[in-house]
Amino acid sequence: AQKVTQAQTEISVVEKEDVTLDCVYETRDTTYYLFWYKQPPSGELVFLIRRNSFDEQNEISGRYSWNFQKSTSSFNFTITASQVVDSAVYFCALSGGTYKYIFGTGTRLKVLA
| Contacting positions for other proteins (CB under 8 A) | 4, 33, 35, 37, 42-47, 50, 52, 91, 93, 97, 99-106
Please spell the DSSP secondary structure of 24-60, one letter per residue: EEE---SS-EEEEEEE-TT---EEEEEEETT----EE
Contact 45, 38 (CB under 8 A): yes
Minimum distance of other proteins from residue 81's CB (angstroms): 27
Minimum distance of other proteins from residue 102's CB (angstroms): 8
Nearer to other proteins, 57 or 99 (CB): 99
Give the whole-angstrom CA distance, residue 89 versus residue 108.
4
Minimum distance of other proteins from residue 69's CB (angstroms): 22
The torsion angle over the Cα atoms of residues 79, 84, 86 and 89, rounded to 10 degrees, is 120
Nearer to other proteins, 44 or 85 (CB): 44
Minimum distance of other proteins from residue 99's CB (angstroms): 6
Nearer to other proteins, 33 or 64 (CB): 33
